[in-house]
Structure 1
Amino acid sequence: MGFNRRTVLGLAAGSIVASVLPAAAETFPERAITLVVPFAAGGSTDLVARLVAANMSKSLGQQVIVENVGGAGGNLGAARVAKADPDGYTILMGTVATHALNPLMLKTKPYDPVTDFAPVSLLVVVPNVLVVNPQLPVNNVKELIDLLKANPDKYSYASSGNGTPLHLSGELFKSMAGVKMEHIPYKGAGPALNDLLGNQVSIMFDNLPSSSAHIKAKSLKGLGVTTKERAPSFPDMPTVAETVPGYETYTWNALFAPAGTPPEIVASLNKAANTALTNPELITRMNDFSAQIVGSTPEALADHVKAEIAKWEPIVKSTGVTLD
């Protein structure tokens, strides 16, 4: 299990690789697995990761330990996994940010979302939501637009980081609604939510899972979900598109291993992940915040990533968002 890419590529006899990797796959896993979440603790991706990791641990017989590696809109954590040994012991909770948006926005790309990863499984699709601090004098999307137009550049909105789906949600909203507000990036949804709750910032586009409890407790106002249809867990909350026709964003969570991970190990991780998604408690939690459970083959996830890149490319170009 100590082989890294350089060691494997340097082996003169291909038969050695062929004999060692399947043998390793047969005993996988023999120790704990690190699941890298490329954002700070407390956000939607972190929540999904911890639910999935706990149930994968049961299936695999070894702990799946969540490690938060936040920063650079998810790029630091994703790049770490891309460069990790392809042995299945370091895997990534990827998102639309790490595997579609960031690669489209970044001037310098630390990894390739297609060639540097081995897809494992598409786990869930998650709505985003427009939330505001209760002290902001608005109760719906129209009132927010009117307030922003009457006070250009006075208000700011938070996101989980530059280039994230939440950042793009805000920029798309500004463009389509014809309003101005400053973007304040954080190292994850958790820190951004803390400042929103404390009224250091007034507005945020968040993943619905991490804001749902605050909306129910009325510590935040949910103005609208960003999907085409209303979220089942909040049937009375309108969509943003009901006020801004055509507006739509969302995110998703999926498992990836480094490129070169043996297919047998990918298959083991896929089986454990998809089994985790059948756990009744996990299903209940996901339903609570309207996360749509998927579970897929590695091949289906590979196709999904390519489709997402193709879908978001014209949107990213239209907003003009680029990242250094």
Structure 2
Amino acid sequence: MKITRMVMLWSAMLLGVPAIASAQTWPDKPVRIIVTAATGSAPDVMARLLADQLSRSFGQQFIVDARGGAGGNIALGALKRLPGDGYALGVVHASAITVAPHTMKEMQYDFDRDFVPVALVARAPLMMVAAPHAPAQTLPDVLALAKAQPDTVTVAVTGINSVPHLATEMLVHRSGGKFFTVAFNGSTNAISALLSRDAMLMTDGVAALASMVDAGRLKPIAVFSRQRLAQYPSVPAVVEAVPDMVVDGWFVLVAPRGTPDDVIRRLAAEIGRTASAPQIAERMGTLGMYPDTLSGPALVQFIRSEQDLWRRIADQLGVQRQ
């Protein structure tokens, strides 16, 4: 019995050695970053920018694996199945953490159970734009029209229960009006609807709308953020018309639960340094994003507050899982 106990004790000690050693020598092989977006999209480009910086800093290759679709279900389902050894990470859009649990019946993951947040990477604000023919060209006028004549303001959305859709519905709900919503498959089709007079308004990420806004073909009337954006200083924030209406998009670096704490801390520290570099901020600006970092307990609290916000939004709008 004594020999058996001794063997078990030494076995347990030896099993712990690789984990300690791996944390100290990490990374000694390529690191995979799964992204909840399609190849070539703004989030994918941002993740590759991040991966390049991490590769330089750690002297090891960080490889981006873009897996868009199903609201992040595909990407996070894949990441969940990988070991928490520091060699599998994810760049995740907020919606996969805060919105998907209230809109999808079948989830391949439970964020709080399966993952640990590493660092907030960037914010990606939403923008509302109006078509040239729209009878209202400012946010106060749009909301007044939606209240006075419900269902007469036609809004194009890039998918039912998407973040842009729910943000738009919550905005008009809080102002006491009602939009007539038409869903389209993707940003390109929704933009085409505005240009062909099939819709008046649209809400989407800044990156998806920037080219049309900059060309003067669509008019930006509001951004869903806490303040005006540096690249569009004349465009008011939604909170200027509807107080407390802040629905920020954001991206966070995550790891499978069980990833060594030392690896998490090293990654978070490097993300903080990388995001503060002027060239990174400039490049993110072209993608409709801006760097903003949090880590540790502050990040955990931030994510919980966002989860609570979207839970309330889903309840108030009566969102049904599909």
What TM-score do you get using the length of structure 2 for normalisation? 0.81
Deviation at 1:241, TM superposition (A): 3.9
Per-residue CA deviation, residues 78-129 of structure 1 (Å, 9 max, x unaligned), is: 2221222212222111232112222244444332221210211112233211
The structure having more radius of gyration, on CA atoms, is: 2
Structure 1 306/269 Cα, relative in aligned 2: closer, same or farther at 3 Å? same
* Aligned residue identity for 2:107: K
Aligned mates of 2:217, 2:66 — CA distance in 1: 26
- Matched to 1:181, the amino acid is F
Alignment of 1:165-244 (within 5 A): 165-177=163-175, 178-184=177-183, 186=185, 192-199=186-193, 202=199, 203-244=201-242
Q: CA deviation at 1:19?
A: 0.5
Query: What SS class does the counterpart of residue 139 from structure 1 fall into?
Result: coil
Q: How much does 1:250 deviate? A: 1.1
Question: Does the 8 Å contact 2:184/2:190 carry over to 1?
Answer: no
Give, in angstroms, the shift of residue 185 of structure 1: 5.9
TM-align CA RMSD: 3.0
Say which SS state the counterpart of residue 318 (structure 1) adopts: helix
Residue 308 of structure 1 and its aligned partner are, at CA, apart by 1.7
1:255 corresponds to 2:253: yes
**SS of residue in 2 equivalent to 1:110:** coil
Deviation at 1:224, TM superposition (A): 0.8
Mapping for residues 52-91 of structure 1, pairs under 5 Å: 52-91=50-89
Q: Is the 8 A contact 1:114 1:306 kept in 2?
A: no
Conservation of the 8 A alpha-carbon contact between 1:121 and 1:297: yes
Q: Which residue of 2 aligns with 1:33?
A: 31
Q: Which residue of structure 1 aligns with residue 294 of structure 2?
A: 296
Residue 284 of structure 1: how far off its partner (Å): 2.3
Cα distance in structure 2, aligned partners of 1:134 and 1:30 = 55
Flag the 1:25–1:314 CA change in 2: closer, same or farther, 3 A: same
Q: What is the DSSP-based 3-state SS (H/G/I as helix, E as strand, rest coil) of the residue aligned with 1:75?
A: helix
1:273-284 equivalence runs, <5 A: 273-284=271-282
C-alpha separation in 1, matches of 2:308 and 2:144: 34
Letter in 2 for 1:155: T
Identity of aligned residues (%): 25
Q: CA deviation at 1:25?
A: 2.4
Instruction: Tell me, in whole angstroms, the C-alpha distance in 1 between the residues paired with 2:144 and 2:263.
Output: 54
Correspondence for 2:3? none
**Equivalent position SS for 1:115:** helix
| Consecutive unaligned residues in structure 1, runs of 5 or more | 1-11, 187-191
| Partners of 1:65 and 1:231 in 2: CA distance | 31
Gaps of 5+ in 2: 1-9
Q: 2:304 matched to which residue of 1?
A: 306
